[in-house]
Amino acid sequence: MHAFLVIYSKSGQIGAEVLPVISDFGMNNMRELVKKERKGVVFITGERFAGNLHEDQDSISFVAGHLSFENIARSAASSPVSMWHDAISRKDPRCPAKLEGMFAAIHYSREKHVLVYANDKFGIAPVFVYEDRNYLMLCNEYQPLAKYTHSIDKAAMAEFMTLGVTLGSKTFFKQISNLEPASLVHVSSAETKQHIYWKPDLNPKKGADLKSSAKEMHALFTRVNREYQEAKLAGVCLLTAGADSRLIASAMTAEQLQKTTFYTSNLSFLDPSEDKDVAGASAITSKFQLKHRIEKISFHENSFDETYFETERAWRHEQVYGGWHGGEFLGGFCFQAAPIRQPLDYHAVDERYRSLFSRWFRFRQRTHPYASYKKELAKSEAHELLFMIRQMTRSFFTAIYGGTRGHWEQPFQLVNHGYSPFWDSRLLQLLLQVPVDELKHYRFYNEVFKYVDPEFAGIPSNSPMTALQDSVLPKMEAGVEPKHRIPNTHHKAYKTYLDEASGFRRGFYNKSLRKVLENEFDPITQKWLDLEAWYSCYVSRKEKR
């Protein structure tokens, strides 16, 4: 995604105290940055994203992600950021309610010293916010903002260990939050006003059967995918043997296919000839004579510890367009993969909470993890899919893990270089109107693939969809599934943190947790390791200063 950091001073003066935030965003001069400044505000982005900045004599605007103006009349020659700049400057009443896509959009007016910012309808694009009496800071990463706050959110830590995710807008710092979905915020020297500009339609379409819903979804996905391709968000398009990247390729125009460079990752310890993803992607690119690049990536050479939180923030040379969360949403895999599955029992949560955290820690918490879960569920109006979408995206990008639980879903990497059409607000809104039971076990996704060009669909795949008796995609028999061969990269860190007594001296944990931690591969142990690595990187270092 397009990286950004915005620092707004309510007093109109930006002091040297924010320099550590700027330095961290620039990764100590490792990132090439562009700055746009007015008295009391500074916009910073990567040099490669300079085209997403727009300024005139009075104001500055920035757009991250993909912003669609299909429902608002505009000049065909205008860029998305200039259209946002124009619409918000003239206070167009349709903006942002009629905007679609996956975006964070920011605008500053010098005349009144007012900052306005908004995110997409589902809050997919992360907008991390820090605010105190003097400063309001916005960033697509929470790490730079952490340089300005010392107050950790222990309730969020309890949620992560007990439920598997941080809920809602929480991060692990009390003063850093992830902007609520569909938010429009006005900030002035005197006040901050936040408005929720849109709510999803959660009612299934009347009279729509599975076939007609799938046909409509395929038509919408084709239109959205082609629009994203025309926007030239990324340098390469991810291609595997799975269903998601294949749907993307099949929905491109012939011209887009020929212009696109497809990219397939190959684990360093697997020969390309035995890697299912490489074999499947090569079959597609060979059949349609497409540009294809295979890139070796390392896993077993890496070691997971606190340094991971720095190295994985590095920007790729090229932005990547891929099918992230396609199978989770259209295939219903989120109902199996999301950490919190409904219904959730209070007694089960409470038992885990008591077994993990000390009595003193629990006594000092105002909110029980189960109460946080019920509050977040209420925000989703108890709609199972919407609750899952928010876990798989908002909680995902706020997550701290990198090396233990998320080998194939690394939030730091995606926040810095990933784009997916499956995050588009139009597609997600339509998906919410499909009965949940139709989505589960890839049934709906299989119906969508019945409208895919048979030449694409007929090539063998490693997608879980191939397990269906009536699967449109034939099963790939040869080769090795890369996801099943990921080695253990966290053993060294596990031993280090297990032997480190300071973690237990903090008074967070129940003494019985040590017994659980004897099993290196227990899910609780892996969450604990993620949390300890994060704490060592972002909290312990500050405590030692």
What domain range is 74 assigned to?
Answer: 4-127+179-196
What's the pLDDT at 428? 98
Strands 418-419 and 320-321: what pairing? parallel
What's the pLDDT at 341? 87
Same-domain check for residues 271 and 191? no
Same-domain check for residues 215 and 120? no
Check which CATH number belongs to the domain holding 115 and give it: 3.60.20.10
Q: How far apart are CA 465 and CA 457, in angstroms?
A: 12
Domain-located, residue 73: yes
Same-domain check for residues 188 and 222? no
Q: How far apart are CA 191 and CA 219, in angstroms?
A: 44
Helix axes 491-499, 523-535, angle to 10 degrees: 70
What's the pLDDT at 407? 44
Same-domain check for residues 257 and 190? no
**pLDDT (tens digit per residue) in 450-483:** 999 999 999 999 999 999 999 999 999 989 888 7
Mean pLDDT value of segment 362-367: 95
Residue 300 banded pLDDT, cuts 50, 70, 90:
low
Mean pLDDT value of segment 277-297: 96
CB 85 within 8 A of CB 67: no
H/E stretch holding 109 = strand 100-109
What's the pLDDT at 396? 76
The tally of domains found in the chain comes to 2
Domain-located, residue 541: no
Mean pLDDT value of segment 310-314: 79
Residue 414 banded pLDDT, cuts 50, 70, 90:
confident
Check which CATH number belongs to the domain holding 271 and give it: 3.40.50
Same-domain check for residues 118 and 219? no
Prior bond to 435 cis, omega within 30?
A: no
Q: Which residue has the higher pLDDT, 209 or 74?
A: 209
Same-domain check for residues 94 and 12? yes
Mean pLDDT value of segment 119-125: 96
DSSP 180: P
Same-domain check for residues 91 and 219? no
**pLDDT (tens digit per residue) in 46-75:** 999 999 999 998 999 999 999 999 988 766
Same-domain check for residues 423 and 281? yes
What's the pLDDT at 317? 83
What's the pLDDT at 255? 97
Same-domain check for residues 217 and 315? yes
H/E stretch holding 34 = strand 33-38
Q: Is the pLDDT of residue 411 over 80?
A: no
Q: Which residues contact 81 (CB under 8 A, 6 or more apart)?
A: 51, 52, 53, 54, 61, 62, 63, 67
Q: Which residue has the higher pLDDT, 314 or 153?
A: 153
Same-domain check for residues 184 and 249? no
Same-domain check for residues 192 and 302? no
Q: Is the pLDDT of residue 303 over 80?
A: no
